């Protein structure tokens, strides 16, 4: 089920901010926006999640529009190690019996 839409790929210069967009126009009121990333040959890694307020942690910031129909993941100072596929996923919190469903994600290439 294509609940989110992301660009297939993006490039970003090393040291600059990487802004990864995600559209989720059919998001429900109880659904959160989650971001994961997968570095080549590794398992996906949780980055951040949020409901409606902007969130920030040591890895990234998440900006969610007021209508919650889209969001942006921001890596403030991208490094070469941030090159990965980034997945935007919407799901209800504590929905343990509803496993994560991954789409195709955005392939971010950080360029020196």
Partner 1 sequence: DAGITQSPRHKVTETGTPVTLRCHQTENHRYMYWYRQDPGHGLRLIHYSYGVKDTDKGEVSDGYSVSRSKTEDFLLTLESATSSQTSVYFCAISEFRGLQEGYTFGSGTRLTVV
Could you say which of 16, 69, 77, 104 contacts partner 1 (CB under 8 A)?
104
Which residue, 81 or 112, has its beta carbon nearer to partner 1? 81
Q: Does 3 bind partner 1 (CB under 8 A)?
A: no
CB of 101 to partner 1, least distance (A): 7
Strands (E) across the chain are located at: 9-13, 18-23, 31-38, 45-50, 55-56, 61-64, 70-75, 84-92, 106-111
Tell me if 15 contacts partner 1 by CB under 8 A.
Answer: no
For residue 81, give the DSSP letter. G
CA 24/CA 64 separation, integer angstroms: 10
Q: Is 21 in the site for partner 1 (CB under 8 A)?
A: no
Interacting residues with partner 1 (CB under 8 A) = 36, 38, 41-46, 49, 93-94, 96-97, 99-105
């Amino acid at each position: 089920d294509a609940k989110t839409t992301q660009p297939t790929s993006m490039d970003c210069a090393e040291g600059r901010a990487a802004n990864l967009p995600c559209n989720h126009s059919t998001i429900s009121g109880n659904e959160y926006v989650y971001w994961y990333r997968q570095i080549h040959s590794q398992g996906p890694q949780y980055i951040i999640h949020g409901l409606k307020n902007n969130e920030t942690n040591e890895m990234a910031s998440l900006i969610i529009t007021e209508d919650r129909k889209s969001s942006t993941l921001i890596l403030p100072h991208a490094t070469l190690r941030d090159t990965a596929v980034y997945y935007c996923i919407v799901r209800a919190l504590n929905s343990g019996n509803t496993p994560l469903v991954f789409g195709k994600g955005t392939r971010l290439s950080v360029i020196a």
